[in-house]
Amino acid sequence: MADTDTIMELLARQGLTPLAEDLPLIQIAYEQATDQKSLVHGVTGARYEEPLLVAKARG
Amino acid sequence: MTIANNLTIKEAAEQLRAGTLTSVELTTEIVNRAKHHNEALGAYVEITEEAALEQAAAADADLKAGKDKGLLQGIPLAVKDIIAMIGAPTTANSHVLDPEWGKGVDAPVVARLRDVGAVFVGKSTTSEFAIGNPDESKRFRIPHNPWDLTRTPAGSSSGSGIAIAAGLALGALGTDTGGSVRGPATVNGHSGLKVTYGRVPKSGVVPLGYSLDSVGPMARSAYDCAILLGTMAGWEPRDPNVANVPVDDYVAALDGDVSGVRIGLPTEYFFDSPLLDPEVKGGVLDAVETLVNLGAKAEEFVLPHAELAKDANMLILLGEAHSYHRNNLTSKWLDYGKWTRANLVRGALYSAADLSQANRFRKYWSKIVAEAFEKYDVLITPSAPTPAQRPDEITPSKRLLLPAYTGQWNLTGLPALSIPTGFSSDGLPLSMQIIGKPFAEATVLKVADAFQRATEFHVTAPTLTSVESK
């Protein structure tokens, strides 16, 4: 389970001050966001090395 | 007079011209039905009865005078309540939206329908700002699925979906950013088209995800969607998000001939998940078999990264939605429904690098999909992994585990149509999704129409018995 203080600090930096009752849903959202970040940065071929791969293929 | 609740736009237009039905008779029946069932179904935020009957009378007078404006003349429609319409406030089902927003204005897509004599029954229920789930602590009606009131009608174009299924409108406008036209069409048992990004003007619509939003037609049949789209689509010089691409004659394209049409079935993720309901899968495969028997060719293939495409779409959607709502979230947190604020806050949890990478993946995946479309005319997938669920079955944590099949096509901007394929053993609608090339709505509609000529799932309507007894 994600650290509540970490989430609240992250949101406070953006001016957001959720209520305690909102936290269970926000914790789920945080975990989902963390998973999505990992996935979206992890796919081979969709990163900035792609132009180099193309250049190598031509070479 | 009693008018069947599965009447199509095509049938009504024929009856209006044959003189066996007037728009006033049709609109009166539809409005009365909407008022009678609205408490139980929650389809409408506001029913504009007086204006609707005036529009119907004008349509009748014009038709009688020989002034035929086309097949939508005198046809009762519903407009999702995030779309501006003269004569009714736009609420977005929220206490946050400025009550003056869109006042006295028709969104261009509404204006186009008004110009051809359509009748507007009212503003249909939306999930709050097209992203929240119903919050009973707010003043808005809770929408219910007319096939089973204990099931979700899906969102965010919930009211439009309910209205079509229950015969409370013959056609409707919905919007789709991750599946909000196709989801309600799926679980309410009718047709719903997410158009190519840029096909239909979206100015005058409360935004959710700027680069993903589209306005699409919802109706009982693909044929009716084609009628609606023919009026909705096309260049709008005031709208920076509309493409200047010629509009096809969508109705003329519906010739029932699918011989030689190449259908691709992307197996990975769309068909092989253990969480895909067997009845949903069976319904899609049976429908494909029907199309093959009509002359189409189908084959399985692998389309990689589909799950990631769903996630990238969600990441972009949430980032864009948060940018729109950021200031109001800081000052009006409690005015949002609890589900809406929990959804919108997710956009604050991503970084600029996350959004940048999601957009980069978007280009990468769009290229992969474009390559697939060199081999196929359409792709077919399930529309959703299960039939309509009960709200307690779709908690946020459970929803994360389920596959989702619609957001991928918002990410790529492609047209995608959901149509019924049958019913589950519980009597709930099943559905499939037909995806096409950019601006190839005519092909998507043609395939769907051919299937619907051979089947009757799309004209099977709920009996509303459970609604009556509520």
pLDDT at B397: 67
How distant is the alpha carbon of residue A15 from its chain centre? 19
Distance CA B357, CA B351 (A): 10
In a domain, B35, yes or no: yes
Residue A31 has pLDDT above 90, yes or no: no
Contacts of A7 in chain B (CB under 8 A): 349
Q: Judge: B334–A40 Cβ closer than 8 Å, yes or no.
A: no
Annotated catalytic residue B157: no
Q: Judge: B361–A26 Cβ closer than 8 Å, yes or no.
A: no
In a domain, B187, yes or no: yes
By residue range, what is the domain housing residue B289? Answer: 9-315+339-468
Distance CA B201, CA B199 (A): 7
- DSSP class of B83: B
pLDDT band at A29 (very low <50, low <70, confident <90, very high): confident
Contacts of B333 in chain A (CB under 8 A): 16-19
Residue A51 has pLDDT above 80, yes or no: no
Dihedral angle, C-alpha A13, A16, A20, A25, nearest 10 °: -100
Cα of B382 to nearest chain A Cα, Å: 23
Distance CA B71, CA B12 (A): 9
Contacts of A10 in chain B (CB under 8 A): 348-349
With beta carbons less than 8 A apart as the criterion, state whether B224 and B170 touch.
yes
In a domain, B234, yes or no: yes
Residue B1 has pLDDT above 70, yes or no: no
Annotated catalytic residue B35: no
pLDDT at A41: 82
How distant is the alpha carbon of residue B151 from its chain centre? 18
Smallest Cβ–Cβ distance between A32 and the set B305, B330, B400 belongs to: B400
With beta carbons less than 8 A apart as the criterion, state whether B409 and B258 touch.
no
pLDDT at B392: 80
In a domain, B333, yes or no: no
Per-residue pLDDT averaged across B368-397, rounded?
Answer: 92
Dihedral angle, C-alpha B295, B257, B8, B252, nearest 10 °: 160
In a domain, B326, yes or no: no
Q: How many domains does chain B have?
A: 1
pLDDT at B464: 80
| Short-list B306, B297, B296, CA closest to B272 | B306
pLDDT at A30: 87
In a domain, B18, yes or no: yes
| Short-list B343, B336, B345, B342, CA closest to B97 | B336
Residue B55 has pLDDT above 70, yes or no: yes
Distance CA B107, CA B204 (A): 4
Per-residue pLDDT averaged across A14-39, rounded?
Answer: 86
| Short-list B183, B161, B182, CA closest to B172 | B161
Residue A43 has pLDDT above 80, yes or no: no
Q: What angle do CA B2, B4, B9 make, to 5 degrees?
A: 120
Residue B403, φ and ψ in degrees, nearest 5? -65, 160
Q: What is the pLDDT of residues B300-331, one digit of tens each?
A: 999 999 999 999 999 999 999 999 999 999 99
Residue B101, φ and ψ in degrees, nearest 5? -60, 125
Among B10, B23, B80, B158, which one carries the catalytic annotation? Answer: B80
pLDDT at B340: 93
A positions 1-59 inside 8 Å of B (CB): 7, 10-11, 14-19, 21-22, 25-26, 28-30, 32-33, 35-37, 39-41, 43, 45-48, 50
Mean pLDDT across chain B, nearest whole number? 95
In a domain, B374, yes or no: yes
Q: What is the pLDDT of residues B232-280, one digit of tens each?
A: 999 999 899 999 999 999 999 999 999 999 999 999 999 999 999 999 9
Contacts of B285 (CB under 8 A, 6+ apart): none
Counting Cα atoms < 13 Å in the Cβ hemisphere of B263 gives 27
Smallest Cβ–Cβ distance between A36 and the set B315, B330, B339 belongs to: B315
Smallest Cβ–Cβ distance between B361 and the set A7, A19, A40 belongs to: A40
Amino acid at B394: I
Cα-trace Rg, chain A: 18
Q: What is the pLDDT of residues B272-305, one digit of tens each?
A: 999 999 999 999 999 999 999 999 999 999 999 9
pLDDT at B115: 98
Per-residue pLDDT averaged across B399-417, rounded?
Answer: 91
CATH of the domain at B180: 3.90.1300.10
Residue in A with minimal Cα distance to B341: A22
Annotated catalytic residue B80: yes
Among B127, B180, B418, B431, which one carries the catalytic annotation? Answer: B180
Cα of A56 to nearest chain B Cα, Å: 18
Q: Judge: A28–B350 Cβ closer than 8 Å, yes or no.
A: no
Residue in B with minimal Cα distance to A37: B354
The pair of structure tokens assigned to B185 is 């069409």
pLDDT band at A42 (very low <50, low <70, confident <90, very high): confident
Q: Judge: A25–B360 Cβ closer than 8 Å, yes or no.
A: no
In a domain, B111, yes or no: yes
Distance CA B363, CA A47 (A): 11
